[in-house]
Every structure is written in C-alpha cells, then in structure tokens.
A and B are shown apart, each in its own frame.
Chain A
Amino acid sequence: MSATTADKAIRTTRRAARRHRGEGGPLGVVAWLAALVFITPIAWMILTGFHHEVDAATNPPSLFAQLTLENYQRVIKSNILPYLLNSLMAAGFSTILVIVLALPMAYATAVKPIANPRGLLQWVLSTKFLPLIAALVPVYITFKQLGLLDNIFALVIFYTGLNLPIAVWMCHSFLSDIPADIMAAAEVDGASLFTILRSIVLPISLPGIAATSLICFIFAWNEFLFALNLTATKASTAPIFLVGFITSEGLFMAQLSAAAIIVSLPVVIAGWVAQDKLVQGLSLGAVK
C-alpha cells in the first residue's frame, strides 16, 4: 500500500523532471530554427565567398552557382599576410604578457591572499568599466610623443591593459579552486615555493590559463578602434585590412566575403574550443 504510493510519487517526480528537461519535442525544433536564423547571414557569406563575383551580385540571389576558390587566392595575393601577422603578434604577445602579469596578481588574491583581496579585485574590475573611447586622445598623444605610433608594441601594451582585469578575475576564480589542504600539506612537507608552484599550482590551473588566454586573444584579435587610430601602414592589423579592402569598384562581394572569413576564422575556432569558458570570461569571472 505505502510502497505503491511511494512508487507513484517517484514516477510523478521523474515525469516532472522529464517534462522540465523537455526531452525532444517541438521546442527542440524551435531551437534549431532559431540557430538557423542566426547562422543564415554567416552561411550566406561563406557561400558568397566561394562564388564568382558575377554570381555574388545577382538579384534574386543565385544559390547554386558554380563554386570557386579564386576569391581566396585573390585575397591571399592582395597582401593580407602582413596584416594577419600583425594581428597574431598584437594578440599573441599581449596575451602572453597578460598571463605573466595576471597569474601573480591572482596568486596574491586567491592562493596566499593579501589582507583585503576583495577591495583590490573590485578596483581591478573598475578599470574595465571605464569607456575606452575616453582614453583615445591621451593614448594617441602619448604614443605619438614616444614615437610608438604605427608600432605593433604600442598595440601589445594597450591590449595588455585592456585584458588584464578580465584575466585577473578569471585567474582568481580558478586559483581559488585549489584545495588549501594540498598547499598546506606540501608546505608541511617542506616543499619550496618553486616546487609548490610547479607541481601543484601550475598543473591544476593549466586549463584555466588556456581558457583565459583564448578569451584575451579573442578580444585583442577583434579590436578595431585603437588599431585604426594607432597604426598607419606597418603595424596595421586584420580589421584594418578589411575596411581598406573595400574599394569603389563594383563587384567585390565575393572577395569581401572570403577576406571576412579568413580574418574571422582564427577567433571563431578559438571561441568554439573555449565555449564552456566563454561565459566565465565574458562575465569577468563572475559566472562559472
């Protein structure tokens, strides 16, 4: 008697859980449709990138025109490589510098904390809330005075400052996960600071470091406003190539699509790889 009641209760709960999680059903179809709507512009751009210019500029659009690689060949021939290399250097070096500066800071807020880590973290974060545009004039003037305009290292320094708050918060959040007991045990065993760092802190935090790096890389790679104003010819990055790529010539949509895909691809792949950590980086470490 009582067993059947309990049985029934369990069954009801299970059914409720299944209903809540909504296995399959029409809502899954809605989600798929939404994803298709959001991806359509990109899909169109990818398709256009593989079409001849004549087929890219038709109305109504030609979906099933002949495919070609000529746009990609043209874009690569049109001197895109130095721009990509500049982007790689600006994003890569700034990411390395960010990690080098952020890890010790997070160590001092999470592992062996200073007296008031909360206050420091808040201050670090507050620097991220200042609108970039307000820094444009002084940063431009300073780099001009230092003779660093059109120099890739000006971008490296600037992007490092830009991403450091995010990185400190992310590193703080994953360094806080290191169990204090392990650290204490290692100290009791007389392990040196270097040993502790190398054999405990580093292995545990490696995935976190990777995720933080990817997030910082994405932001630096996509940055446009400062790249536009701090560089001229030598140090220009990929987004500058893209806006300069548009000429007044009539047919260019296919080539533009190919170029846009080439410059976006590294970050799209990085983002896909880091998608589980993306939300943590975007919310500055607040959401896990």
Chain B
Amino acid sequence: MSTSTPTAAFAAARADAERRERRLRMRRRLPLLPGLVFLIVVTQIPFVVTIFISFMKWNLMKPKDVRFGTLKNYTTVLADPRMRAAILNTVVMVVGSVGIALIIGTGLALLLNRKFPGRGIVRTLLITPFLIMPVAASLMWRHLIYNPVYGLLNGTLNAIGKLFGLTAPQPEWVSSAPMVAVIIALVWTWTPFMMLITLAGLQSQTLDIVEAAKVDGAGTFQTFRYITLPHLRRYLELAIVLGIIYLLNTYDQVFTITAGGPGTATTNLPYEIYLTAFRKYDYGEAAAAGVLVVILSTIVATFGLRLLTSLADTTQPAKTKKEGKK
C-alpha cells in the first residue's frame, strides 16, 4: 500500500505534465490556424475541384448534357493535335527561355560580382526588365520593337542601311519567327531573375578559397571551373527549377505578343487551357489539361522542394541550430 502512493502521485504528476505539454503544443499551433485554413481553401480545394471536373462531361454549349464519370476528356486532350502542339510549344518555350536567361544571367552576375564604377546603377538598370508589368512589356515588344513598319528593330536596320546607302531588310518579326519573338521577350524579363539568384550564390562564396587557388597559381578559368562553379551548382539548380515553375505559367506574353499564333505556333498549355475554358467553353477538357500541367510541374517541384529546403538550411545556419536545441 505504502509503495503505491508515491507511484500514484508520480503518475498523476506525469499525466499533469503531459496535459500541460499537450496544451502548450496546441497553443503553439494556434497562430497557424487562420493562415492554414485560408491556404487550404484558396489554393488546395480548387485543385481537388479541377481533378473532379476533369472527369466530368461539361461544356457550357451543351448545358443539358452535364454528368460525372468519364475519361473522355483525357483521351480527347491527349489525341487533340492542338493540345499536342501546346505541350511541345510549352517545352520549347520553357527550356529555351530558362536556358538562355540562365546563361546570360550567370554572365551578368559574374560581371556584377566585381567592383567597378557605377555597379549599383548597373544592377538597378539590369533588374528593371523584371519589374516592368509583363503585359506592358509584352505590348512594348509587340508594338514598339517588333512592329514591321515603325518598330525599333526594323527602324534601326533601316537607319543602318541608309548609312551605307543600302536597302535594309524589313522582316515581319512576329509572324515570321513567332516563337523566337516570344522567347526574346521572356529572356529579357527573366534574365534579371537568374542574375539575382546567381549573384546571391557568388556573394555567399568565401573569398579565402578563391584567393588560395590564385596563390597556388590557378588561372581565372580554372578557378571558375573547379571552385566557383561547384559552389554555384545548387544556386544554378534553384534558378532552373524556379524558372521552370514560373515559366510553365507563361500567359501574358503569349496572349499579348502572338495570341498563340500564327496557327498554333506559339500556343502553350496555359493559353490553350484558357481558350478551351473561355472560348470553347469546355470546362471538362480544360480541367483535364490543367491536371496534365499539374503533373508536369509536380515532377519539377518535387526536385525543387528538396533543393529549396537544403539551401535554406545552409544559408540560415542560425535557424538550424535553434531548432536542434529545442
């Protein structure tokens, strides 16, 4: 008997401690609640609904014939030559823009990582294309730059031609090379983005190693190839992954510069989904195509998520330490 009392007291104390612990844990979760609910309602439920609609026969033009339980949207989407063209165009547009923007952006970051007069101004000028409203920038490219009669491109060609007494060619940029026209506009917008991330990577590099390499007689190229590039690798990967995810959503430039044309030459998935939903009024097909885009970007994102967290861990050592303590 006498032995059970301290055990009971101990158990009671432990239960009490557990209860307090649980209450503390609940209290710590409480601030999350409003934001979490909001995020789930606004960003998660629509995707669930999209999946649901993708299995529905639902065309606004046939309001009597709406029902659930069909795979036809997927077979239609996958067989549709427009949709196939859109998938191919999306890949070309994203890979082309991300690749070119990354190369130019890295070059600019390497330049900006050095001290020179007016570096701050150069950086400010270089990030500006990213800040211009995409619709405004697209209208600028279409009407002020590419316009075959009054655009800056042909105007400059003409001026140079006149200088030498020649007749300069005056190509129709948008209709003769629509994909190139869109990609140039995209590269112009996204190069600053690539540059900023790469520059952050360069500036996080400790100079000691670079200096040691120079002292050891390594050339500029060798230092870049064997020291800077390996350090930059994760930043470059991050820039690529984020670039792909953002550019998979490209809509403004296509809508404004080419309207997807001529034909389907520049129709990408977002634009085709928009047309399917709001011109063809086929919600089922649009949703099925949407699910395809989600699958595409989830593949990229799973990779990206891991990368982001690992980078966040290494650039924020203070946080990791604090978490480890608790």
A binds B: yes
On chain B, the residues within 8 Å of A208 by CB distance are none
A136 pairs with B274, CB closer than 8 A: yes
Count of chain B residues with a beta carbon within 8 Å of a chain A beta carbon: 120
Question: Counting CB contacts under 8 A, is A282 at the interface?
Answer: yes
Interface: A3 (CB within 8 A): no
CB contacts (< 8 Å) of A131 on chain B: these are 245, 248-249, 270, 290, 293-294, 296-297
Query: With A and B bound together, what is the CA distance between A283 and B29 in angstroms?
Result: 26
Checking A56, A102, A268, A284 against B35 with a beta-carbon cut-off of 8 angstroms, the contacting residue is A102
B118 is an interface residue with CB less than 8 A from chain A: yes
Q: Are B308 and A125 in contact (CB under 8 A)?
A: yes
Contact of B238 among A39, A121, A229, A287 (CB under 8 A): A287
**Residues of A82-128 contacting chain B, CB below 8 A:** 101-102, 104-105, 107-110, 112-115, 117-118, 120-122, 124-127
In the complex, the answer to whether B315 meets A288 with C-beta atoms within 8 Å is yes
Question: What is the interface of chain B mostly: helix, strand, loop, or mixed?
Answer: helix
Select B199's contact among A162, A261, A279, beta carbons within 8 Å.
A279
Knowing A130-B43, A133-B249, A225-B274, the reply to whether A61 touches B152 (Cβ < 8 A) is yes
Number of chain A residues whose Cβ lies closer than 8 Å to a Cβ of chain B: 117
A41 contacts the other chain (Cβ, under 8 Å)?
yes
Does A39 lie within 8 Å of B128, measured CB to CB? yes
> Within 8 Å of chain B (Cβ to Cβ): is A67?
no
What residues on A are CB-neighbors of B152 within 8 Å?
Answer: 40-41, 44, 61
Are A34 and B28 touching (Cβ within 8 A)? Answer: no
Name the interface residues of B30-47: CB closer than 8 Å to any CB of A: 30-32, 34-36, 38-39, 41-47
The answer for the CA separation of A110 and B44 in the assembled complex, in Å, is 24
Q: With the chains together, A285 CA to B147 CA distance in Å?
A: 40
Contact of A126 among B278, B301, B316 (CB under 8 A): B301
Pick from A44, A134, A136, A288 the residue with the most CB of B within 10 Å: A134
CB nearest to A20 among chain B residues: B210
Chain A residues packing against B (C-beta within 8 Å)? 9, 12-13, 16-17, 19-25, 27-28, 30-32, 34-36, 38-42, 44-45, 48, 56-61, 101-102, 104-105, 107-110, 112-115, 117-118, 120-122, 124-127, 129-142, 157-158, 160-162, 164-165, 168-169, 173, 176-177, 180, 218, 221-222, 224-225, 228-229, 238-239, 242-243, 246, 252-253, 256-257, 260-261, 263-264, 267-268, 270-272, 275, 278-279, 282-288
* Closest 9 A/B residue pairs (Cβ): A28-B116, A161-B42, A134-B290, A104-B31, A22-B114, A129-B301, A138-B49, A60-B159, A16-B214
